[in-house]
Amino acid sequence: MQNAHRLLDEAFVLMQRNYYRKEYINWDTLRAAAKQKLQSRSFCNDAYETINWCFEQMREKHSFIMPTIKAAEYNNDLVQLSESVPMSKLVGAIKGEWLGDSIAYISIPWVSTTDEAICTKIADSIQQLIRHLDSRVISKWIIDLRNNSGGNCWPMIAGAGPLIGEGVCGYFVRNHERVAISYKNGASYQGKVLRCKTSGTPYQLKAATINIVILTNNGTSSSGEIVALAFKGKENVQFAGEATAGYTTANATYNLSDKSMLVLTVCQEADRTGKIYSGRLIPDLPVAFEPGKGDIIKEKAIRWLSQR
């Protein structure tokens, strides 16, 4: 019982200190209800269930507890794991192709790890694919963020940086504080803090001006939405497809004593112009997926780009 109640207390300290809407929560009432719910239950899983129940009472859909094994996988903690995590569990597929002579297509994958070496490899792989596609001097790009469920946004931003462009591409916003999200010379930054950097010479696109269509759907979520926001406010960019999942807030992670991890929403997100977003990102070119009709979202993007 001591372990479960200790975890609950640890989580409440972090939640009361760091939750982005903390002033709207009656913490004493919520803590009392949580302790009553936990009562004589003693296992860590009971504490996880209770903490997640608290988030439900708070109407907070983006925060959660990551159990010990999942946290070890996310951090690639080989001390805790009996074997290495397969790459297929850490990163989504990175795909690219030419569509005709003038359009390049690339998918930006979800990334479920904070391991520095792996994140560098992911960023490198994305930039290498952009370099390969740009060997034809491409000025029209389709960037697929459909089903990008998020995770760690920093290797995504570092990898997609040549398409995002140099400089500030968004902000984390809390009260009157704004922390810039930026891409500079092959690296992604949170404020002045380096988050992920490519290992080689960063790539620069050959075309001086490019047109971009971002593909989204209901599976574009969390950090996938951060990457989408990195293109909002950029010239010659359109969004096509379905509305995103609506997790346009940012999380921070906190390790608990049993090596589980509290994933807590700590701020809102804004695009490069400073506009704050709440909820789903709505596409400029709405297209609903229809089974049996092929990839009509990608086809819509191709038609828009072909007119440019």
Tell me if 79 sits within 8 A of 67, measured CB to CB. no
pLDDT at 84: 86
How crowded is the C-beta side of 44, counted as CA atoms within 13 Å? 13
Burial (Cβ within 10 Å: 0-12, 13-18, ≥19) of residue 138: buried
Query: CA 209 to CA 140: how far, in whole Å?
Result: 9
Percent of the chain residues topping a pLDDT of 70: 99
Which DSSP helix (H) or strand (E) runs through 4?
A: helix 2-18
Query: CA 58 to CA 54: how far, in whole Å?
Result: 6
- Low-confidence residues of the chain, pLDDT below 70? 1-2, 42
Query: CA 103 to CA 93: how far, in whole Å?
Result: 20
Looking at residue 171, its amino acid is Y
DSSP per-residue letters across 96-162: EEEETTTEEEEE---B----HHHHHHHHHHHHHHHHHHGGG---EEEEE-TT---B-HHHHHHHHHH
pTM, to two decimals:
0.95
pLDDT at 1: 44
Query: CA 147 to CA 219: how far, in whole Å?
Result: 4
pLDDT at 305: 97
CB count in 10 Å sphere of residue 124:
18
Helices 153-164 & 116-133 angle (0-180, nearest 10): 20
How crowded is the C-beta side of 99, counted as CA atoms within 13 Å? 19
**235-254, pLDDT tens digit by residue?**
999 999 999 999 999 999 99
Phi, psi of 174 (to 5 degrees): -145, 120
**180-224, pLDDT tens digit by residue?**
999 999 999 999 999 999 999 999 999 999 999 999 999 999 999
Do strands 237-241 and 249-255 pair parallel, antiparallel, or not at all (unpaired)?
A: unpaired
Phi, psi of 128 (to 5 degrees): -65, -35
Burial (Cβ within 10 Å: 0-12, 13-18, ≥19) of residue 198: buried
Residues 6+ apart with CB under 8 A from 51: 7, 8, 11, 34, 65, 262
Phi, psi of 41 (to 5 degrees): -70, 140
Phi, psi of 89 (to 5 degrees): -90, -10
Q: What is the DSSP letter of 72?
A: H
